[in-house]
Every structure is written in structure tokens, then in C-alpha cells.
């Protein structure tokens, strides 16, 4: 056990999988000698060699197409998209190509590819670096979308993703990279995909979220406790597919639900969770489902981002409103 | 007075570097003896046999489509030298990433013909390739296969295999970002890929001269730092020769090659409503028919004493039988099941997909 950051947990996961399976390849823009713009691949090229950890030319569609081709030759690629906002460049190679390959080949081939990308607001980036576009990717059949909220989950989920024979889009919130530390085992371990976690148990209201907003939910829950409201925090971890069982069990217990996402409201993961509760758990509810999201605009200019991003105060206010319903 | 720095004649100079490679002229005569490929009499006959097979397949496929027995079909007549002779120069172990017009190469590479027909009709079994068939099914998105070919080629290199990845697109495909990314990635990794641009003059209806200001498509290789060559795509011997050379160069570890074949599709873009009379003249059609790849090979083989009408007729007859057998087989295939579709979406199906599989399996049992 070592107390470590989320980014170090990510590096450790790749390091261990590179050592464990010679088919694993890690590549992308600046991931080689430079160790990634966030140092997520720091030292990996030195340890595992430039044949297995390498820089690519600067082209996102090329990086994903390269991954598909390598997977067809039996490799287990772990490409990095340097910032999630650059994913539009690669949408065909992701959604039109790699995610469909197993389906269109009638199950005769597999695509064990883990695409990693940093994303998320609050770190004062230029345009198209911080955008939460996970809803777009979550709509693609054949892909899993995983977003860890803490260092322990990050390592175990990334190892599961790399070992998965299906493609996984693994999103790493930039604000979480170094802002929190947690105990992380030194050895490899897995956390199952497709399973949400109860980040905090509670009785009165379920705060259902993922990524950095889980940390906001936990802070909100601390303050709500002082006001006598016991909030349960559900960390989705895999946002596509959703863990229906855990979500519904929590809502059945608390009878109130608030979905919290950093992404704009339209067609996001929160809408999917709300629809699930409406479809399969509406009779559990004592109040309308609350939704905390960013406004439906492109990601703001960075000096305004703290006003644009949802935060714990929004969650607290909504929880109180729902408790009073 | 200040002199010009930019050499505005550079494109004219470059064009001289990309003259069309020709070996066999329209009369079936060798015009570049030094470039005549080292093919035995049997190999020459086999190459022509495959071209006749492809022309016959095109004629029959067009009829079968009109009868409603085949689905999506992109005609291939006119492109036999470009398609068949390039494929003929490559190896079974080489990995083929075709576009939708490249069904003849796929079948020659090892795809059972009935599976090509299933693909055309829209049946998933057409895309279930045997494990030892090194190929993807035809690509629909123009150019998407180019970046994937770079990846396959890098995989070949990392495994230290003496193989290539080879892929096709058309003249329109060279305008796509993926085209540039593909040739650039393969070049940067010195990966063994052969990129074949079948320039048939039209991207559906848009003529080649509206596609780019570049005088040749082959010269696009220069910017990627890889060799490029333009070849007479109606000349099977020239196409074979450059493809063979490109393969030797790539497997020797030198990196990728871009080949532009100048060819023509006699038919429409696809049989789904395209009418070439809207964008091509009869004069242009006639000009290209005079360059027919089969006619000149037939003349060449006749002069060598390697061709008889009776033998060609027997090949056509055999091919028709092969086609009849394949189409009869696909017409008796079991119906596709949505439960199977669901099973094919993931290796490890999520819970909600498992539930859907159960639901559809129950529906299908009714």
C-alpha cells in the first residue's frame, strides 16, 4: 500500500500490464520520451522499450486507426488521446470503425483496445481541452465508458479495461490527477467493469454521479449530514453500460434521487440514469428526480469555468429542495 | 532587384517524376522490354484467367442485382488490371483492407464467393471470415481503411513478419484526412504497407480534376516521405510489376509505397440508382473501352501462343457455374437472428445485453 495520486495509479496500472502481457502497447502524442503531457506514461518507455511505448504522429484519427490495425494483428493497444476534446477528430475511427468491428465481423474478431483520455473542467485549459463529451461516446454501441473518481478505482479499473477483450474508453478527470491521494496497493488488482460503487452510505437521498462530481457529492454529503440529511453517494464508475441494479437498489432505499454530472444537460448520462429510474423505479420515489448539470453551452472560457461548473452548493440546495418536497 | 525565392515551376518538374508506367500497349505489344515482369507462361495465363473471371463475375453480379438476387453492388468491369494484377503480385499472408469495389481481390485472396454474395445481400455471415483469411470486409467510409492499414503494417513490423498490409481507395479517397494520416503514419513508422489508389477518374460524379490541384495522385506520397508511382491501370503487366516491386521494397523493411492506377469503371458507381450519363460522355467511355485491360492481355497472350477462344470460353463457363452454385447457396441460408447480433456486440456482454439476448431468443423461438 502506498498513498498516491490518481495519475500515479494510472501509470502503475499501465506499467504492470506492460510487464504482464507482451501484447500490450502504449502510444499516442508525447507518451514516449516525454512520458505524456501529464506524465501519465512517465518512465514507461524506459522500462518497456520504444517498441512498446512510443510516440505517434499528431493525428487522432490515425492513432485510433493504428490501434484497430494493431488489434487485428493480435496486439492489445492502449492509445492515448491527449485531451478528450480532440476526440471529434477520431469519431469515425472510434464510433464508425473500432466499436463496430466485432459486430460487423459476426463475432469472429475482437478489439481489446483501451483508449485513455484526460478531460474535465477546473484546471484552466484552453478551448476543447476540458469538455465532458462522455455522452457522445456512451451512445456508441460496442464500447464501454469508464470514469474513475479516485486513485484506488483508477488503477483497478484501468487494469480491468486493459485486460478486457472489448474496447473501453477510459476517461481521466484532470482535476483528480493530483488533487487527492489514497491508499493504493502496489501490486496489480482489478475492479470489475459495469459495476457502480456506493461511495458513501446514506438513507434519505441518493446522489448518483461519476468522475470529479463524486468528490463534490461527498463534500455535499458531509454538509448535508450536519443539516440532518443522510445522503448516499453512488459512484457509477462505468457510465456505459449503467449498473442498473446498484442504482435502483439505492433509490429503493432512499426514495429520492439526484443525478449529478459535469457535462451539459442535453442527452447526457444523467438523463440516462433519470430515465432508468423513471422506467424501473418510479414507484420508489417520494419526490421528482433532481438533475444537476452544466448549462447547455460549449465549455466556457476558463476564467468563467467555476461559475459554469456544478458544485457542492448546487447539490446541497437541490437535496434540501427535494427533501422538502 | 530582389529575385524570386519560390520556384514556381516546381510542380512541372515534379510532374516529370511521375510519368505513367506502361509495359503493354493497347495492341498487346511490350513497349518497355526492361519492365516486362518475370512471369512464367503458366502465371501469365493464370493472371489473365483471373481477369476473365472478374469480368464474368461483374456481368453476372449485375444481372443478379437486376433480378433482385444480389443487393449492394459496385461494378468492377474496366478495373481488372488495377484490381486483379495488383492482388496477383501479393501473398496470401499479406493483409488486405479493401473498399467496397474490391470484392474481386477479396475473393482471389481467399474469401469464399458465397460470402461475398452474402455481404452484398446484407447477411452477417458474409463477414464471418475464416481465421486464416488475412482481410477485413469491404470498407464503406471512404479512406477509413488507410489508417487501419498503417496499424496492421506496424503490427507486421513489430512481429517481424515478411508480409505487407495492402489497401485500396479511389481518386476521391485521396482527399480524405484518413488518406494522409494513413500514408504519413506508415511512413513515420517505416511500416510495410502498400497503398493503392485506383483512380478511375470519378468519385461518383465528381471528376478527378475537381478533387485536387495535384497533377498526379501518386505525388501525394512525396509529402509523406514515401515512394509513389503512377501506373497505367489498364495494363495488367505494369500494375503487376510495380506492385511486386513495392512489396519487395516494403518487406525488406524500407517502409510503405503509394501506387496510383489510372483506370476506368465502365459501369455506374453502384447499381443503386447512379446514372453515369449525367456526368460522363460517350466519347470518354469509348476512349477507355479502347484501352480495355482484357483485350490487350488477350492480344499479348495470343502472340505468345498462350490463348485460345475455346479455353477462355471454358473459363467463363466454369465461372458461371461457380457463381450459380454460390448464389443458390446464399438463397438457402438461415435467416439472421437479432439475438446473434446482440451476442456479437461484445465478447463479454453487459447485463443489459444479456437480458436483450434472452428477450430476443424467446421472441425468435415463437
Q: Is residue B5 part of a domain?
A: no
C-alpha cell at A84: 478528450
User: Are B345 and B238 in the same domain?
Assistant: no
ipTM of the complex model = 0.97
| Residue in B129, B180, B266, B279 annotated catalytic | B279
A272 touches chain B (CB under 8 A): no
Q: Is residue B1 part of a domain?
A: no
User: Are B365 and B261 in the same domain?
Assistant: no
Residues of chain B with pLDDT under 70: none
Between CA A189 and CA A160 the distance in angstroms is: 8
Is CATH 3.40.50.920 the classification given to domain A197-324?
yes
Side-chain-side CA neighbours of B273 within 13 Å: the count stands at 0
User: Are B264 and B341 in the same domain?
Assistant: no
List the domain boundaries for chain A.
Answer: 2-184, 197-324
Specify the number of domains making up chain B.
2
A246 touches chain B (CB under 8 A): no
Distance, C-alpha A7 to centroid of its chain: 13
Q: Which residues of A touch B350 (CB under 8 A)?
A: 144, 194, 241
Q: Is residue B6 part of a domain?
A: no
Distance, C-alpha B105 to centroid of its chain: 6
User: Are B205 and B348 in the same domain?
Assistant: no
Nearest CA in chain A to B156: A73
User: Are B279 and B358 in the same domain?
Assistant: no
Q: Is residue B144 part of a domain?
A: yes
- Strand B193-199 to B257-262 pairing: parallel
Residues of the domain holding B343: 336-366
Of the residues A58, A59, A73, the best mutation for testing chain B's interface (the one with the most B CB atoms within 10 Å of its CB) is: A73
Q: A224 CA to chain B: closest CA distance, Å?
A: 34
Q: What is the pLDDT of residues A155-194, one digit of tens each?
A: 999 999 999 999 999 999 999 999 999 999 999 999 999 9
Q: Is residue B117 part of a domain?
A: yes
| Helix, strand, or coil (residue A98) | helix
Between CA B357 and CA B349 the distance in angstroms is: 9
The CATH number for B146's domain is 3.40.50.970
A297 touches chain B (CB under 8 A): no
Of the residues A53, A64, A65, the best mutation for testing chain B's interface (the one with the most B CB atoms within 10 Å of its CB) is: A65
Residues of chain A with pLDDT under 70: none
**Among B141, B185, B352, whose Cβ lies nearest the Cβ of A92?**
B141
User: Are B292 and B348 in the same domain?
Assistant: no
User: Are B159 and B205 in the same domain?
Assistant: yes
| B185 contacts A66? CB cut-off 8 A | yes
What pLDDT does residue B54 have?
Answer: 98
Q: Is-same-fold flag (A2-184; A197-324)?
A: yes
Q: Which residues of A touch B341 (CB under 8 A)?
A: 103
Q: Which residues of B touch A243 (CB under 8 A)?
A: 351
Task: Give rounded-to-5 percent helix, strand, coil for chain A.
Answer: 40, 20, 40
Q: A60 CA to chain B: closest CA distance, Å?
A: 9
Between CA A84 and CA B283 the distance in angstroms is: 52
Q: B136 CA to chain A: closest CA distance, Å?
A: 8
Please list the residues that pair with B21 across neighbouring strands: B231
A51 touches chain B (CB under 8 A): yes
What pLDDT does residue A1 have?
Answer: 86
User: Are B100 and B239 in the same domain?
Assistant: yes
A65 touches chain B (CB under 8 A): yes
Q: Do the beta carbons of residue B128 and residue B338 sit within 8 Å?
A: no
Q: B115 CA to chain A: closest CA distance, Å?
A: 12
Q: Is residue B266 part of a domain?
A: yes
User: Are B242 and B366 in the same domain?
Assistant: no
Q: Is residue A129 annotated as a catalytic residue, yes or no?
A: yes
Look at the domain A2-184 and name its fold.
Rossmann fold (3.40.50)
Question: What value does the mean pLDDT of chain A take?
Answer: 97
Nearest CA in chain B to A194: B350
What pLDDT does residue B16 have?
Answer: 87
User: Are B229 and B350 in the same domain?
Assistant: no
How many CB contacts within 8 angstroms connect chain A with chain B? 142
Q: Is residue B4 part of a domain?
A: no
Distance, C-alpha A79 to centroid of its chain: 16
**Among B178, B188, B347, whose Cβ lies nearest the Cβ of A65?**
B178
Between CA A159 and CA A116 the distance in angstroms is: 12
User: Are B141 and B61 in the same domain?
Assistant: yes
CA distances from residue A264 to A171, A269, B271 in whole angstroms, order as listed: 17, 10, 44
What pLDDT does residue B159 have?
Answer: 98
User: Are B291 and B342 in the same domain?
Assistant: no
**Sequence-ordered list of residues with C-beta below 8 angstroms from that of B350, at least 6 positions apart, any chain:** A144, A194, A241
A69 touches chain B (CB under 8 A): yes
Task: Give rounded-to-5 percent helix, strand, coil for chain B.
Answer: 55, 10, 35
Nearest CA in chain A to B165: A69
| A69 contacts B149? CB cut-off 8 A | yes
Amino acid at each position: 500500500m502506498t498513498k498516491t495520486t490518481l495519475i500515479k495509479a494510472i501509470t502503475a496500472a499501465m506499467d504492470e500490464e506492460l510487464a504482464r502481457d507482451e501484447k500490450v502497447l502504449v502510444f499516442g502524442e508525447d507518451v514516449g520520451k516525454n512520458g505524456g503531457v501529464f506524465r501519465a506514461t512517465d518512465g514507461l518507455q524506459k522500462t518497456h522499450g520504444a517498441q512498446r511505448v512510443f510516440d505517434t504522429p499528431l493525428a487522432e484519427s490515425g492513432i485510433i486507426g493504428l490501434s484497430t490495425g494493431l488489434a487485428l494483428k493480435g496486439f492489445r493497444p492502449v492509445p492515448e488521446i491527449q485531451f478528450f476534446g480532440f476526440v471529434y477528430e477520431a469519431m469515425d475511427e472510434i464510433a464508425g470503425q473500432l466499436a463496430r468491428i466485432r459486430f460487423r465481423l459476426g463475432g469472429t474478431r475482437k478489439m481489446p483496445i483501451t483508449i485513455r483520455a484526460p478531460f474535465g473542467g477546473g484546471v484552466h485549459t484552453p478551448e476543447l481541452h476540458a469538455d465532458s463529451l462522455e455522452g457522445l461516446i456512451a451512445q456508441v454501441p460496442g464500447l464501454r465508458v469508464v470514469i474513475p473518481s479516485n486513485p484506488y478505482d483508477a488503477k483497478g479499473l484501468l487494469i480491468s479495461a486493459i485486460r478486457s477483450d472489448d474496447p473501453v474508453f477510459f476517461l481521466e478527470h484532470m482535476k483528480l490527477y493530483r488533487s487527492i491521494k489514497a491508499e493504493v496497493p502496489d501490486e496489480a488488482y482489478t475492479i470489475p467493469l459495469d459495476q457502480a460503487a456506493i461511495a458513501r452510505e446514506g438513507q434519505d437521498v441518493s446522489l448518483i454521479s461519476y468522475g470529479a462530481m463524486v468528490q463534490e457529492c461527498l463534500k455535499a454529503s458531509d454538509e448535508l449530514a450536519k443539516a440532518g440529511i443522510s445522503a448516499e453517494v453512488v459512484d457509477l464508475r462505468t457510465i456505459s453500460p449503467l449498473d442498473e441494479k446498484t442504482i435502483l437498489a439505492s433509490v429503493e432505499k432512499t426514495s429520492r434521487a439526484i443525478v449529478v454530472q459535469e457535462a451539459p444537460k442535453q442527452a447526457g448520462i444523467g438523463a440516462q440514469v433519470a430515465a432508468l429510474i423513471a422506467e424501473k423505479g418510479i414507484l420508489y420515489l417520494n419526490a421528482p428526480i433532481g438533475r444537476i448539470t452544466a448549462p447547455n453551452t460549449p465549455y466556457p472560457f476558463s476564467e468563467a469555468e467555476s461559475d459554469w461548473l456544478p458544485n457542492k452548493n448546487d447539490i446541497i440546495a437541490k437535496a434540501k429542495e427535494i427533501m422538502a418536497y | 532587384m530582389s529575385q524570386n525565392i519560390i520556384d514556381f515551376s516546381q510542380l512541372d518538374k515534379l510532374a516529370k517524376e511521375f510519368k505513367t508506367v506502361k509495359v503493354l500497349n493497347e495492341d498487346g505489344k511490350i513497349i518497355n522490354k526492361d519492365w516486362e515482369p518475370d512471369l512464367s507462361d503458366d502465371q501469365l495465363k493464370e493472371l489473365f484467367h483471373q481477369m476473365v473471371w472478374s469480368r464474368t463475375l461483374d456481368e453476372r453480379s449485375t444481372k443478379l442485382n437486376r433480378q433482385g438476387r444480389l443487393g449492394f453492388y459496385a461494378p468492377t468491369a474496366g478495373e481488372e488490371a488495377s484490381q486483379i494484377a495488383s492482388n496477383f503480385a501479393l501473398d496470401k499472408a499479406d493483409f488486405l483492407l479493401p473498399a467496397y469495389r474490391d470484392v474481386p481481390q477479396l475473393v482471389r485472396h481467399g474469401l469464399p464467393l458465397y460470402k461475398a454474395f452474402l455481404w452484398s445481400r446484407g447477411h452477417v455471415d458474409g463477414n464471418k471470415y475464416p481465421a486464416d483469411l488475412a482481410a477485413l470486409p469491404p470498407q464503406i467510409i471512404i479512406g477509413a481503411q488507410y489508417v487501419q492499414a498503417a496499424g496492421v503494417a506496424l503490427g507486421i513490423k513489430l512481429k517481424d513478419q515478411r508480409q505487407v498490409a495492402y489497401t485500396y481507395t479511389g481518386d476521391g479517397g485521396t482527399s480524405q484526412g484518413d488518406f494522409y494520416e494513413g500514408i504519413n503514419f506508415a511512413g513515420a513508422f517505416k511500416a510495410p504497407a502498400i497503398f493503392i489508389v485506383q483512380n478511375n477518374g470519378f468519385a461518383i460524379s465528381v471528376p478527378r480534376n475537381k478533387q485536387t490541384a495535384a497533377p498526379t495522385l501518386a505525388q501525394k506520397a512525396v509529402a509523406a516521405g514515401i515512394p509513389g508511382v503512377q501506373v497505367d491501370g489498364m495494363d495488367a503487366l505494369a500494375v503487376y510489376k510495380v506492385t511486386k516491386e513495392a512489396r519487395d521494397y516494403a518487406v525488406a523493411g524500407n517502409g510503405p509505397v503509394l501506387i496510383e492506377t489510372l483506370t476506368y469503371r465502365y459501369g455506374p458507381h453502384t447499381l443503386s440508382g447512379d446514372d453515369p450519363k449525367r456526368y460522363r460522355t460517350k466519347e470518354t467511355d469509348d476512349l477507355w473501352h479502347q484501352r480495355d485491360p482484357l483485350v490487350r492481355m488477350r492480344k499479348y497472350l495470343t502472340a505468345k501462343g498462350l490463348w485460345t477462344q475455346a479455353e477462355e470460353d471454358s473459363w467463363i463457363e466454369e465461372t458461371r457455374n461457380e457463381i450459380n452454385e454460390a448464389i443458390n447457396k446464399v438463397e438457402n441460408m438461415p435467416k439472421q437472428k437479432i439475438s446473434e447480433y446482440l451476442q456479437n456486440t461484445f465478447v463479454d456482454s453487459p447485463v443489459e445485453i444479456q437480458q436483450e439476448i434472452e428477450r430476443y431468443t424467446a421472441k425468435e423461438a415463437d
